[in-house]
Amino acid sequence: MQHFSSLASRFTLASLRQSLLRVRQLSLPELGQSIAQTAAFQIALLIGVWWLAARAAGWFGLAQLGNVVGMLALWLLLINNRLRLARVQAGAHWLIKHMLLFFIPAVLVVLDHQELLGWVGVKLFFIIVLGTLVVMACTALSIEWYLRLVRHRKALRRLRTRQLRPHAENRQA
Q: Under a CB-based contact definition with an 8 Å cutoff, are residues 89 and 41 in contact?
A: no
Q: Which helix (H) or strand (E) holds 166?
A: helix 119-172
* Model confidence, pTM: 0.44
Q: What pLDDT, in 10s, does the model give residues 55-113? A: 888 888 877 777 888 888 888 888 998 888 888 888 888 888 887 777 666 667 777 77
Q: How many CB atoms lie within 10 A of CB 42?
A: 21
Report how far residue 69's alpha carbon sits from residue 55's, in angstroms, rounded to the nearest whole number.
Answer: 10
Report how far residue 46's alpha carbon sits from residue 2's, in angstroms, rounded to the nearest whole number.
Answer: 34
Q: What pLDDT, in 10s, does the model give residues 12-61? A: 666 656 665 565 665 656 655 666 677 788 888 888 888 888 888 888 88
Amino acid symbol at 96: I
